[in-house]
Amino acid sequence: MKVAAMVKTAFPTNGRSWPELAQEMEAMKAGDVDWRGGRSPLYVFGATDEVANVARDAFNMYFTENALGANRAFGSLRRMEDEVLAATLELFSAPPEASAIFTTGGSESLILAVQAARDFNRRNHDRASARNVVVPYTAHPGFDKGGRLMDIEIRRVAAGADGRADVAAMADACDAGTIMIAGSAPCFPHGLIDPIPALSDLAVSRNLWLHVDACVGGFIAPFARALGRDLPAFDFACPGVRSISADLHKFGYCPKPASTLSFRDEAARDAATFDFDNWPNGRFATATLAGTRPGGAVAGAWAVMNFLGRDGYLELTRRALAMADAYAAGISEIPGLKLWAQPDLTILNWGSPSLDIFAISQKMHDRGWLPGLTRNPAGMHLMASLLHEPVREAYLSDLAACVDIVRKQPASGDGQNRGVSYN
């Protein structure tokens, strides 16, 4: 498959003034999705204007600094990065010997987790040639990206009827070549947390590395549990969990690009570190894929985390869950629609047993709502953050109206959203 063709323009001849450029950029932006108005079902996360301002100001304060130089040049970045990572480890019930890395995003965290598991297996087990990772069908493509880079097979195992990882089937898919198993907390497609305690038992009994992909849930699920939401344990409290990915730039409400990768112990973290000395400029050691990294992302994460504190995250989580539950109730009340899963957190996925859901989503698109879509089962998808709070009633009434239209005029079956695509 080819991605959209690139538009090729000439190198700019004469420089132009910033006011002119700014005006042109504002005009270009006018054609983008109105995320501030809650019309984007993914890509952007929001809490409050206050949080967004702290994130932006802190990022700009460190706009030029490079986190690659945190050890030798920017002690402030070293301190802020360590504090953000220590707080993250505490959130995940990590033991004292645990350690973590600040990355540019969930994909980088997943790729590094796969690489760390591979090298850990090489060093500590007789599995030098081990070459596969077993994940549920609902896992993020970041695993496969890592698999392609490292020539590791990613085995996707169908989820159970409840949409969660089928642990018995995953156990069957493991063999002597398995270096890692993984579950999500929650998975992106259905918003469901996989049965991590059962995956942990499997990991312990077979001596396998269990990675928990909490990219989207890492900074909301712990607070949801603290608020009394009935969710299974998914962190280092489960003894088989060796690593956890959690994105600060999602429900941590921190500026992009910012994610974390936490390890149960130093040996696991060491397996991720690239430590090199054979070139003129001396030792080069990083735990990330990226070399140069934006200081602003580290500073922004530190400022947002300290601005909110545990209390702030609890309050935002309470609001986000109440909002998502209200969306879920509203969708369930529309005749013809059915939630494919009762959401564990704030990701909603629904379809229709009787109507063409893609025709409905096309009608929503026509009304200015960029639809999120899923296959298997065919459905609409919304990863709700507080940006979607003010527009809930407008969204639900448009959705009900679109369902009505499709019920009265059965679709031709060629809605342009039929090719489900994440980006």
Ligand X SMILES: *Cc1c(COP(=O)(O)O)cnc(C)c1O
Tell me, rounded to whole angstroms, the distance of Cα 359 from its chain centroid.
28
Scanning 7-15, 33-41, 44-52, 208-216 for contacts with ligand X by CB under 6 A, the matching segment is 208-216
- 169-201 as b/e: b if 16+ CB within 10 A: ebbebbeeebbbbbbbbbbbbbbbbbbbbbbbb
CA–CA separation, 157 and 139 (whole Å): 10
Tell me, rounded to whole angstroms, the distance of Cα 238 from its chain centroid.
21
When binding is defined by CB under 6 A, the residue of 59, 62, 102, 188 that contacts ligand X is 188
Report the Cα–Cα distance between both ends of the chain, in Å, rounded.
14
Interaction of residue 184 with ligand X, rule CB under 6 A: yes
Interaction of residue 121 with ligand X, rule CB under 6 A: no
Scanning 7-15, 33-41, 54-62, 104-112 for contacts with ligand X by CB under 6 A, the matching segment is 104-112
Compare residues 109 and 132 and give the one whose CB is closer to ligand X: 109
Interaction of residue 235 with ligand X, rule CB under 6 A: no
Shortest spacing between CB 45 and ligand X, in angstroms: 10
Compare residues 135 and 359 and give the one whose CB is closer to ligand X: 135
CA–CA separation, 44 and 26 (whole Å): 19
Shortest spacing between CB 109 and ligand X, in angstroms: 7
Q: What secondary structure does DSSP assign to 216-229, as a single string?
A: TTTTTHHHHHHTT-
The pairing of strands 338-339 and 347-351 is antiparallel
CA–CA separation, 142 and 237 (whole Å): 25
Compare residues 138 and 200 and give the one whose CB is closer to ligand X: 138
Interaction of residue 259 with ligand X, rule CB under 6 A: yes
Shortest spacing between CB 105 and ligand X, in angstroms: 3
Interaction of residue 202 with ligand X, rule CB under 6 A: no
Interaction of residue 312 with ligand X, rule CB under 6 A: no
CB atoms within 10 A of CB 268: 23
Minimal CA–CA distance to 225: which of 253, 262, 186?
186
Interaction of residue 260 with ligand X, rule CB under 6 A: no
When binding is defined by CB under 6 A, the residue of 55, 84, 89, 106 that contacts ligand X is 106
Say which residues have a Cβ less than 8 Å from residue 183's Cβ, sequence separation at least 6.
Answer: 135, 136, 139, 165, 194, 195, 196, 199, 210, 212, 213, 234
Minimal CA–CA distance to 288: which of 108, 72, 84, 122?
108
Shortest spacing between CB 383 and ligand X, in angstroms: 8
Compare residues 193 and 305 and give the one whose CB is closer to ligand X: 193
Interaction of residue 288 with ligand X, rule CB under 6 A: no
Interaction of residue 221 with ligand X, rule CB under 6 A: no
Shortest spacing between CB 265 and ligand X, in angstroms: 23
Interaction of residue 252 with ligand X, rule CB under 6 A: no
**212 phi/psi in degrees, rounded to 5:** -105, 120
Interaction of residue 263 with ligand X, rule CB under 6 A: no
Interaction of residue 381 with ligand X, rule CB under 6 A: no
Residue 242 is encoded by which pair of tokens?
A: 């060796």
Q: Which residue has the tokens 């935002």?
A: 316
The residues in 138-167 that bind ligand X, with binding defined as CB under 6 A, are 140, 142
Compare residues 252 and 312 and give the one whose CB is closer to ligand X: 252
Shortest spacing between CB 358 and ligand X, in angstroms: 22
Shortest spacing between CB 259 and ligand X, in angstroms: 6
* CB-nearest residue to ligand X: 106
Instruction: Kindly list the residues in this chain that would bind ligand X in the complex (CB under 6 A).
Output: 105-107, 110, 140, 142, 184, 188, 213, 215-216, 247, 259
